[in-house]
Amino acid sequence: MGVPIEPEVIARALDRHDDYRVLRRIRRMDRRPTRIDRSNSLVGVAIDVETTGLDHSRHEVIELAIQRFRLDAQHRIVETGRPRTWLEQPSEPIPPSITKVTGLTDADVAGRAIADGEAGCMILTADFVVSHNAAFDRPFLEKRLPMAAGRPWACTLADVDWRELGYEGRTLSALLGRMGWFYDAHRAEVDVTALLHLLSHPLDDFGGTVAGRMIGNARKPTWIVDAQDAPFSAREVLKERGYRWNALRRVWSAQIADDRAREEADWASLMLYGGRRKPEMRRVTWIERYAAGS
């Protein structure tokens, strides 16, 4: 009988071969350093929600996961808190399509509820909140926990220019796959663990970490440009320029960097309205960004 070979030995050997790419399963992040310079650090709270649908005005949260973490001056994760996860029974049965994605059934959530006080305190005492799709997560979270509204938010999906960094896909699983990790998606606690691994990833060719790149962008003011009453024929041009259809507000909308606001207003005025009017614009910071209606 041969001597058993450790899987990691095999993985390292394959890593060195040009014809193979090894993916490692992410593990729960548990970092507890002996010394921390708290005077020059940020406390973040990573969140993920599972819901009964996509519309926060009609659908409900059925799972919430939260984990606090601390970033040092170089935006490295140096400390993590205990992850917390809650299930919650919605007012109506969970649709089969949601059960298929998440694995959550009515029996799983029966009689369960989010601990409002604990969850709200974890969010309110952090410097910022982060998720991988804040435009989805924030409205659901703040509807369910209104006490936690008005916090600064950052988004690893939208506040990082992944194409500039050489990544094609932007889903959490695709990004981590490029970084050499995999996980079982579509449960909130696992997604939060995945999010922490994404935030901690070093950007060797650019310097810093994903968290640092994200926070640098999130803190910059931006402009929300609404192409109100834009002609139907302009929809393809708007898509190509980065506008997205906001079904709730029924308007084509784009988020524009502060230094491009005047240029975008002039473009929209000329190309959409023949110079007769300007688009509606409002300046936002990471306190307002991604909130419902923004």
SS (H, E, C) 83-126: CEEEECCCCCCCCHHHHHHHCCCHHHHCCCCCCHHHHHHHHHCC
Q: Which of 218, 237, 217, 219 has the alpha carbon at shortest distance from 227?
A: 237
* Paired tokens of 287: 């306190």
**Is 90 exceeded by the pLDDT of residue 246?**
no
> If pLDDT is split at 50, 70 and 90, which confidence band does 3 have?
low
Q: What is the pLDDT of residues 33-86, one digit of tens each?
A: 877 777 889 999 999 999 999 999 999 999 999 999 999 999 999 999 999 999
With residue 245 as reference, give the H or E element that holds it: strand 244-246
Q: What is the pLDDT of residues 184-242, one digit of tens each?
A: 877 899 999 999 999 999 998 889 999 999 999 999 999 999 999 999 999 999 999 99
Distance of CA 29 to the CA centre of its chain: 18
CA 219 – CA 13 distance, rounded (Å) = 42
> If pLDDT is split at 50, 70 and 90, which confidence band does 8 have?
confident
SS3 273: helix
Q: Which of 170, 171, 194 has the alpha carbon at shortest distance from 182?
A: 194
CB 277 within 8 A of CB 228: no
Q: Which of 150, 284, 205 has the alpha carbon at shortest distance from 294?
A: 284
pTM above 0.75, yes or no: yes
Burial 157-185 (b: 16+ CB within 10 A, else e): bbbbebeeeeeeeeebbebbebbebebee
CA 192 – CA 211 distance, rounded (Å) = 14
Q: What is the pLDDT of residues 150-182, one digit of tens each?
A: 999 999 999 999 999 999 999 999 999 999 999
